[in-house]
Amino acid sequence: MIRGNGRVVVVHVEMAAQIGRMESMLLSQIDYWLERSGHFVDGHFWVYNTLDEWARQLGVSGSAIKRAAQSLEKQGLILRRHLARAPYDRTLSYTICYERLREMGFSAGRRSLSARELADPWDRPFTAVCGVDEGEGGADKWVI
């Protein structure tokens, strides 16, 4: 076994082939933090970091994170929102559309939660809000 003091980044090879390598890395990192998140808003658990913080965690540039996040959002795999109450706070919060991942053939969802077996409805993943906006711009915009 290789051991060291450095960080480890998980890359799912099949997912990387389907959605992109950087996208897969960012999605895995968001999933890692969602597992530990207790921040529940509008039917989703959310995590937040600045672009620079995501970049530091993954060992890449902030612009690479920005491109990957835009790609994941366009693919309908994540939602990004400004959840801070202060108007000057531009920190984005992120959540994953696990239903979309399952549609793509990946086993996905908070590991500590089973959507069909939970007694507390507030802990159930709320997947109905992840969908395509069929409005003026066509079917290319994912909305809450």
pLDDT in tens, 90-109: 788 999 999 999 899 988 77
Instruction: With a cut of 90, say whether residue 26 has pLDDT above it.
Output: yes
Instruction: With a cut of 50, say whether residue 37 has pLDDT above it.
Output: yes
Instruction: With a cut of 90, say whether residue 64 has pLDDT above it.
Output: yes
Write down the mean pLDDT value for the chain.
78
In this prediction the pTM is 0.73
Q: Report the alpha-carbon distance of residue 139 to residue 137 in Å, rounded.
A: 7
More confident residue, 126 or 102: 102
pLDDT on residue 130: 57
Kindly indicate the confidence band of residue 111, based on its pLDDT and cuts at 50, 70 and 90.
low
pLDDT on residue 43: 85
Kindly indicate the confidence band of residue 8, based on its pLDDT and cuts at 50, 70 and 90.
confident
DSSP 78-130: EEEE---SSTT----EEEE-HHHHHHTT---S-TT--TTT-S-GGGS---TT-
Q: Report the alpha-carbon distance of residue 38 to residue 119 in Å, rounded.
A: 17
More confident residue, 83 or 136: 83
Q: Report the alpha-carbon distance of residue 95 to residue 134 in Å, rounded.
A: 22
More confident residue, 81 or 1: 81
In contact, 22 and 64? CB cutoff 8 Å: yes
Q: Rg (Cα) of the chain, in Å, rounded?
A: 16
